[in-house]
Amino acid sequence: MLKSLTIHHRQLVQFFCYLLVCSLVFSLFLLSVSMISLAVLGVFRLEIITGQVKLGWYEQPWQKVKTIFQHPSFAVFLLFFLVALLRFYPVGDATYLLERLRIKVPFVVLPLAFLLLPRFRLPDVQRLLYFMLLFFSLVSTGIVLNYINHYEPLTELIKKGHHIPTPGNHIRYSLLVAWTIMGGIYLLTEGYYYRYRGERWLIGGLIFFLFVFLHLLSVKSGLLVLYICLAGGIVQYGWQRRAFLAGALGLGLLVCLPLIAYQTIPTFKNKVTYFLYDMFMYQQGQGAHYSDSGRLASLHAGWHIATDHRLWGVGTANIRDAVRHFFVAEYPNYPEVFMPQNQFLFTWAATGIFGLLLTVFAFLFPIFYRQNYRHWLFLNFQLAIFAIIMIEHALENAVGIAHYLFFSLLFLSLLNGPEEQPRSSSS
């Protein structure tokens, strides 16, 4: 059996892409493994043909690495790392500084890896989106079954601000499901199917299931991103097709959907009720034990620090201590210190106005480079990420960075990637 085994290099690359998607939910360790493996496969060509391992490499791969500045949509991601690095002084908390730099290393490694990897083609991207639709539908089915089996105790916990159990972080999971729904809609509009035309009914059914599931899960961040992306998609469709009436009707329907969900899905109604109560308690100065109150307090802290250190910020190494001191002074009853839950505000407070401007430039440049915004799913993904980083500092944790970088670079490889170069090989 092993003698007949054949695995081509592209198949290995796709395998680790699929593994990376799964690890975003289940394992930080496998997330690191998948990113490192993609980087290695960018330098070495590994194939198994009729049971024999063949190893090859790009001719002069380091010469190709040097060409990254000829591909500015890839090179611009280096700025995210450089902003944190250049504003390292003064070093108040060296441990936190090293943690920030370690977490942001993928901003250097992954762009180089995707520059070296074989250019991704449209079928590669479509198959990955299809895999995500199947994967998240399967995992979400397990979540629903667990909720049904523990309906009464979980419902009571939801009323108190808790969430339906999910693998990994429930907020991150909801964001990934929202993005998967948009990927599924893209497949549906493109008429994609892997083998049989009837699969389009399956794709439509899975989109509907995940849409209902996300309302059952009722995580505010995921729902916000979903509706922003749906609204963005409707506007894009209406503008490109000049179907303004259809676009207006679509937006009207979109407004009605949360109202329908509020009346028909108990978990969604409970979440909305709890959120309003949370906001009321914050306004009364009694939000110490409520998560959304903590988020608002973090924005207050970030704004105070940023406006007090407008030009240079407090430094990458010192932002955590600065936020802690603010909470001690202004919110002494809060048991948990939240870092500023907005990526731009976090960056401004830590690195100053120059760091903020470089970060905004690095985020926007790939969208406008060579009119990449014309690809509606790429633009929609960037819209999703923009919504995410406006409500949390998503580019300060490993999963958030991997989510942003992987899908951005995947599309940039499709749209702006270099042509494949010949390889030398040995066995």
Same domain, 110 and 252: yes
Number of domains composing the chain:
2
Quick check: is 304 in a domain? Answer: no
Q: For residue 110, give every residue at least 6 positions away whose Cβ sits within 8 Å of its Cβ, in sequence order, or none.
A: 35, 38, 39, 77, 405, 406, 409
Identify the pLDDT of residue 282. 62
Residue where one domain finishes, among candidates 36, 57, 78: 57
Cα 310 to chain centroid distance, Å, stands at 28
Residue 424: the pLDDT is: 41
For residues 238 and 387, membership in a common domain is answered with: yes
The answer on 362 and 216 residing in a single domain is yes
The Cα–Cα gap between 82 and 306 comes to 19
Instruction: Please tell me whether residues 114 and 190 are part of one structural domain.
Output: yes
Q: Are residues 141 and 263 in the same domain?
A: yes
Q: Tell whether 42 and 150 lie within a shared domain.
A: no
Please indicate, yes or no, if residue 324 is contained in any of the structural domains: no
The pLDDT, as a whole number, for residue 280 is 63
Q: Same domain for 119 and 43? A: no
In this structure, the answer to whether residues 142 and 116 fall within a common structural domain is yes
In a domain, 248, yes or no: yes
**Are residues 271 and 314 in contact, defined by beta-carbon separation less than 8 angstroms?**
no
Indicate if 43 and 104 belong to the same structural domain: no
Q: Is residue 427 part of a domain?
A: no
Same domain membership, residue 126 and residue 47: no
Residue-level pLDDT at 129: 97
Q: 151 and 82 share a domain?
A: yes
Q: Which residues of the chain have pLDDT under 50?
A: 1-2, 422-427
Of 10, 30, 57, which closes a domain?
57
In a shared domain, residues 3 and 39: yes
Is 205 inside a domain boundary? yes
What are the angstrom distances between the C-alpha of 213 and each of 85, 140, 202, 207, 307? 41, 7, 16, 10, 41
Structural domain of residue 3, as residue ranges?
1-57
Under 8 Å between Cβ of 421 and 65: no
